[in-house]
């Protein structure tokens, strides 16, 4: 399906404040994570799908926006011209740095945000692909990305970003709810 075969009903998409991710903990309790792009609780983890060369099973992103749109598919595979709700997240991708990490090295994975000028630094994902929130711990010794505190992009709100982060991860099953 190509973008030429998708129409936005009313030429609109809608922004949401929160994404709630319901998941089951390792000891079979029900929990909920809340992602809010306007707070510090906006980093997520997903299963890695495109890096066959990477031994890392997960990928990470910062949620910049939570949206839905009523779309009409008009391609050759279309069954009808009824609008359907399409939910999506706008994200800034995070890349894992090549450094020894894991249980055998007694170290967390370390990474950084993909530089904005690189293709693929930003993307759209299905909320159903999110495993859950993750906690990015600043690598304080590496310093701030912008020591002067001036952001490059208003959308990413990156004035206070650090050069590198340690990734505190935890995996479980989940489902989501937009609010």
CA distances from 16 to 12, 21, 127, 155 (A): 13, 14, 12, 15
- Write down the pLDDT at residue 173: 47
The residue ranges of the chain whose pLDDT is under 70 are 1-3, 50-55, 100-107, 146-147, 149, 151-152, 154, 157-159, 169-179
- Per-domain boundaries in the chain: 3-178
- Write down the pLDDT at residue 104: 67
- Write down the pLDDT at residue 27: 80
- Write down the pLDDT at residue 20: 92
- Write down the pLDDT at residue 49: 75
Both tokens of residue 56?
Answer: 């890392």
Nearest 5°: phi and psi at 103? -60, -40
Residues 69-103 pLDDT 10s: 999 988 888 888 899 999 999 999 999 887 766 55
Q: Residue 84 belongs to what H/E stretch? A: strand 84-96
Sheet of 173-178, strands arranged across:
30-35, 19-24, 173-178
């Amino acid at each position: 399906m190509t973008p030429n075969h998708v129409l936005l009903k009313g030429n609109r998409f809608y922004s949401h404040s929160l994404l709630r991710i319901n998941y089951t903990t390792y000891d079979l309790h029900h929990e909920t994570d809340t992602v809010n792009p306007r707070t510090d609780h906006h980093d997520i983890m997903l299963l890695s799908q495109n890096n066959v060369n990477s031994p890392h099973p997960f990928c990470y992103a910062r949620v910049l926006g939570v949206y839905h749109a009523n779309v009409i598919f008009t391609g050759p595979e279309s069954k009808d011209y009824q609008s359907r709700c399409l939910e999506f997240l706008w994200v800034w991708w995070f890349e894992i740095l090549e450094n020894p990490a894991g249980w055998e090295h007694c170290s967390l994975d370390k990474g950084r945000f993909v530089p904005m000028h690189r293709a693929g630094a930003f993307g759209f994902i299905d909320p159903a692909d999110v495993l859950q929130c993750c906690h990015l711990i600043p690598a304080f010794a590496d310093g701030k990305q912008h020591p002067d505190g001036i952001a490059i992009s208003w959308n990413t709100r990156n004035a206070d970003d650090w050069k590198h982060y340690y990734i505190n991860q935890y995996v479980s099953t989940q489902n989501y709810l937009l609010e």
